[in-house]
Amino acid sequence: MEIPTGTQGHFSQGLLLSASVLALWAPQGSWAALRIQTIPERPQKNQDVLLSVQGIPDTFQDFIWYRGKETDGGTRLFTYIPDIPRPQRDGSAMEQRDIVGFPNGSMLLRDAQPRDSGTYHVEVHINPSWTMRAKTEVQV
Ligand SMILES: *[C@@H]1O[C@H](CO)[C@@H](O)[C@H](O)[C@H]1NC(C)=O
């Protein structure tokens, strides 16, 4: 009986240590930086462009994509609220663009045109007191 108990003690100490190291590092590692990756990096006219959001937490309330430097009603492309029947609500900056939002925060711009070049800005509402933002320049 003594040997297994000792082994078990060691084992759970190790687990406990890993758990606290994870608890210390997870918030920084996964949430410190929201980043947008443009795929492909240099989109050509008529190509589909994915603005892929990296570093988004597993749970969040909603996200909003804007086209431009300001984040207001006039620059809002769409709002996306996951887990509801019609998650994507288009805003006034959508105009004739063909843009689809995904539950992971990314957006796909279909048939990109030179006029789509410019700043794209994403705002992720994690909870009522925590918002994360990222922006990127797209050149078509
Ligand atoms: C987000 O979802 C889209 C569509 O399923 C996928 O193409 C893209 O790679 C995903 N991005 C990330 C960062 O997981």
Ligand 1 and 48: CB distance under 6 A: no
In a domain, 80, yes or no: yes
Ligand 1 and 79: CB distance under 6 A: no
Instruction: Express each pLDDT in 38-62 by its tens digit.
Output: 999 999 999 999 999 999 999 999 9
Contact 118, 97 (CB under 8 A): no
- Nearest protein Cα to ligand 1, atom 9: 52
In a domain, 94, yes or no: yes
In a domain, 26, yes or no: no
CATH of residue 62's domain is 2.60.40.10
One-letter amino acid at 103 equals: P
Instruction: Express each pLDDT in 63-99 by its tens digit.
Output: 999 999 888 889 999 999 999 999 999 999 999 899 9
Q: What distance in Å separates the CA atoms of residue 124 and residue 118, rounded to the nearest whole number? A: 20
In a domain, 59, yes or no: yes
The set of residues, in sequence order, having a beta carbon less than 8 Å from that of 94 and lying 6+ positions away, is 77, 78
Ligand 1 and 37: CB distance under 6 A: no
Count of domains for the chain: 1
Place of tokens 């590092």: 25
Q: Quick one: pLDDT at residue 26?
A: 45
In a domain, 134, yes or no: yes
Q: Best mutation site among 38, 50, 107 for ligand 1, i.e. most ligand atoms within 8 A of its Cβ?
A: 50
In a domain, 67, yes or no: yes
- Nearest protein Cα to ligand 1, atom 4: 102
Q: What distance in Å separates the CA atoms of residue 88 and residue 97, rounded to the nearest whole number? A: 14
What is the edge-to-edge ordering of all strands in the sheet holding 130-138? 88-90, 76-80, 62-67, 118-127, 130-138
Give distance in angstroms: CA of 70 to centre of ligand 1: 25
Domain that holds residue 67: 35-138
Instruction: Express each pLDDT in 4-46 by its tens digit.
Output: 554 555 555 555 555 554 444 444 444 458 999 999 999 999 9
Give distance in angstroms: CA of 52 to centre of ligand 1: 6
In a domain, 6, yes or no: no
For 78, counting Cβ atoms within 10 Å of its Cβ (0-12 exposed, 13-18 middle, 19+ buried), the class is buried
Question: Could you identify the atom of ligand 1 that is nearest to the CA of residue 53?
Answer: 13
Q: What distance in Å separates the CA atoms of residue 1 and residue 78, rounded to the nearest whole number? A: 63
In a domain, 79, yes or no: yes
